[in-house]
Chain A
């Protein structure tokens, strides 16, 4: 069980809802992933098409919790305004706060992020900040009231996995009691397993599932991978070594030649 602010969830896979080939495929992926939380956004509505209304009906029928984002915002002001609009439409204090600072990498503008988080936390929002693995930024986000952090694994949609293992391990070690969710950059179930083995609490996946040839099957694969990684973390992985160590006991091993006996004497 994972506690995010005052909400307890059981699935450690959070699922993005964008880039699926059809609503039906999205529905199948949500079900096979067994996720309890999906991310959503706000975009301009056309009174003719009413696409947003149809999408919202679909999400409500799925019965999952929504985590609205502020995707596309490039300033704290834009993100705060979007958060206000999202809270009204989605009727949740949750907000996945994104303030983008760089066009090519979609790297967070961490200065704007902290400022927007400060304003939103003060207003009672439960902020899920999309951030980097930077420890000082993490400290500042916690200082303004965030109780969950969402560090990137790699640039959004890149599928490159965990780019900075040292930094992410360090983040986990510095904030052992804060829910840390890897957001962005995961491309394969093995990346998600690795994140969970490192001790991260959950993983948010979108493109890796939506753009798979069979999204529902990939959603199931991610669910298994995340559960396996989480179990492995709880099981306490062995420490790696630089030299081999025979797994079969050496005591009682037969010697079949005098040369081998010599080797055995030297070794003892």
Chain B
């Protein structure tokens, strides 16, 4: 299915967010996730099914003021 991941369309085979993160190359990374504007905690990623066209945000620590 196609997901909009961090603003870019990606073709994903995984059915849940935890697996999709591995597939996208974020395995082992310190990231926070949201789907369609809703925060998804790390503990809940496996329970969240993905749907065609979902907006997925994968955020990491960055410089800030």
Contact = CB atoms under 8 A, between A and B. Distances in A.
Interface of A: 16-20, 26, 39-48, 50-53, 55-56, 59, 68-69, 71, 77, 81, 84-86, 88-90, 156-157, 204, 206-207
Given A52-B31, A77-B37, A47 B63 contact: no
Contacts, number: 109
A19 B62 CA distance: 11
Interface of B: 6-7, 24-26, 29-34, 37-39, 41-42, 57-65
A71 B65 contact: yes
B30 A53 contact: yes
B58 to A, nearest CB: 5
A48 B10 CA distance: 14
B26 A47 contact: yes
Nearest to A84: B39
Contacts of A51: 60, 62
Which of A17, A18, A47 gathers most chain B CB within 10 Å? A47
Given A53-B29, A81-B34, A88-B41, A44 B64 contact: no
30 contacts: A18-B63, A18-B64, A19-B65, A26-B63, A40-B63, A42-B60, A43-B59, A43-B60, A43-B62, A44-B57, A44-B58, A45-B6, A45-B31, A45-B58, A45-B59, A45-B60, A47-B24, A50-B29, A52-B62, A55-B63, A71-B64, A77-B37, A81-B37, A84-B39, A84-B41, A86-B32, A89-B59, A89-B60, A90-B61, A156-B65
Given A52-B30, A84-B39, A89 B61 contact: yes
Which of B6, B24, B41, B61 gathers most chain A CB within 10 Å? B61
A68 to B, nearest CB: 7
B32 A85 contact: yes
A5 to B, nearest CB: 20
B61 A40 contact: yes
Nearest to A71: B64
A156 B64 CA distance: 12
